[in-house]
Homo-oligomer: A and B are copies of this chain.
Amino acid sequence: MINRTGKYTTLFTDGPSILGAGAVAGPKEAQGPLGKGFDKIIYDAKAGADTWEQAESAFQREALITALSKTKLKAEDLDYIFSGDLLNQCISSSNALKEFSIPYLGQYGACSTMAQSLIMAAFVLQSGTAKNCACVTSSHFCSAERQYRFPLEYGGQRTPSAQWTVTGSGCAILGEGKKNSVRITGATVGRILDLGVKDANNMGAAMAPAAAQTILDFFKDTGKNLDDFDRIFTGDLGLVGSKLLYELTLKEGYDLRHKHDDCGMLIFDRDRQDVHAGGSGCGCAASVLCSHILNQMTTGKLRHILFIATGALMSPTSCQQGLSIPCVAHLVELTFL
């Protein structure tokens, strides 16, 4: 059963369960604080492929296979797969998944894509047309860097507010709600917000207002507040964006500082790993959700959380044309029931 609550939020009284999840990461992520939690490390960041883009596809493929291996399902048991990435025309998703022959619904929400995919899958499962769906997203430092910023060989200096795109992928398989599992119990779909930030090397600042808007929408719609949750995770606001999120939500009476973690801040050790403002990318929120966060939920350390993935919807072209960055954030409420 679904209940539309307030203007933007949906609550699920018998929401889908995450039946299995897989997180695959690259060598730099393996050296980070969450390294031991990933299901698989691909130490060759090129994954034996000819190009970085194809390497990213390999990460996504491995995440799907790993997630499936934790369920009793095979690829042909999946009714739909929701997938997306940061590359032009989401090419790493289509190349990753073409061999599986699963009905494919490409999603684009930049780094918010994992949350968007979970929401889409939850709605579609609820409609009755599907029993099992997969959600998978990926990113790769090398394919993203050269597409969005500079050729890798150029060795461009990075600004302090810049974030390091995570090389990794996360996949979650959703199916019928069952006891003793992590379940989707709520969802708030974000609205695009563009407050005029034009600096593609400061995505945290661009995305923070969208994150705040969606979190506040959820609290307003549901009447819930911070005390209801063990932890609140954002996708990849990084250092700059997280601080701005605290400012924006504090104005409305919510002090997130002791309840909040950002996947981009968790995945790297900023003192040791030279990632400036933290990690980013579709693969950041996805791989942290599918390892660190879900592991804590299934082992009883966390019971009730919010997962808000944020996306900066700019393109290299729009940045070169001097346009500001439209942003969006989607929220998923997860509960161990």
Contact surface of A with B, Cβ cutoff 8 Å: 1-2, 4, 8, 10, 50-51, 53-54, 79-80, 84, 86-91, 94-95, 97-98, 101-110, 116, 119-120, 123-124, 126-130, 147, 189-194, 313-318, 321, 323, 326, 328
Counted per complex, copies of this chain come to 2
Minimum CB–CB distance for A210 against chain B, Å: 10
> Known contacts being A94-B192, A98-B193, A318-B53, is A110 close to B89, with CB within 8 Å?
yes
Distance between Cα atoms of A191 and B94 in the complex (Å): 10
Minimum Cβ distance to chain B for residue A247 (Å): 22
State A54–B323 Cα separation when bound (angstroms): 10
A192 touches B107 (CB 8 A): no
Quick check: B317 and A88 within 8 Å, CB to CB?
Answer: yes
Residues of B within 8 A of A89 (CB): 86, 88, 108, 110, 313-315, 318
What 8 additional pairs, Cβ within 8 angstroms, besides A87-B317, A88-B89, A89-B318?
A88-B88, A88-B315, A97-B192, A98-B194, A104-B192, A106-B116, A123-B127, A123-B129
Residues in B with CB closer than 8 Å to A314 are: 89, 91
Q: How would you classify the secondary structure of chain A's contact residues: helix, strand, loop or mixed?
A: mixed
Tell me which residues across on chain B come within 8 A of A4, comparing CB atoms: 79, 128-130
Contact B317 A53 (CB under 8 A): yes
